[in-house]
Amino acid sequence: MYLLLNAVPREWSTLIFEAKTNRLIGNCTVGLVNELPYILDFVVHPDFQRRGLASKMVKRTLNLLIDKYPALRLSVHVGNDAGSFYSELGFIGLSEKYMLSKILKYD
């Protein structure tokens, strides 16, 4: 048995706790980026993966947002297996992203 709780209603985030132990086992943190909801962090504890919890968190988030926003966005690195998970939930690729870094200090 798992408990789904709305962590921060304003950000549509979801935390999942194991009912027996109250241990945090899943997190989907959503915030606004450029005035659209964006999945900022998303994780399920390895011991609880492949049980449908990730799908439940994303679907719950979509249901909370559907009447207010035209889209929910997230970033996945090219080649990440999670891309197929999101595709199965109806997400579509907009572009390939590059992660950039700028060195601020040289030793």
pTM score > 0.85 for this model?
Answer: no
Q: Is the pLDDT of residue 8 over 50?
A: no
- pLDDT tens digits, 12-41: 888 899 999 999 999 999 988 888 888 889
H/E run at residue 44: strand 36-44
Confidence of residue 5 (pLDDT cuts 50, 70, 90): low
Note whether 26 and 14 are within 8 A (CB): yes
Beta-bridge mates of residue 28? 14, 42
Q: Can you give the pLDDT at residue 81?
A: 83
**What domains does the chain contain, in order, with CATH numbers?**
2-74 (3.40.630.30)
Judging by beta carbons within 10 Å of its beta carbon (0-12, 13-18, 19+), is residue 11 exposed, middle or buried? middle
Token pair listed for 97 = 């992203």
Q: Can you give the pLDDT at residue 99?
A: 53
When mean pLDDT is compared over 2-6, 7-11, 16-20, 32-36, the highest value belongs to 16-20
CA dist., res. 96 & res. 77, Å (int)? 8
- Please calculate the CA angle 68-74-79 and round it to the nearest 5 degrees: 155
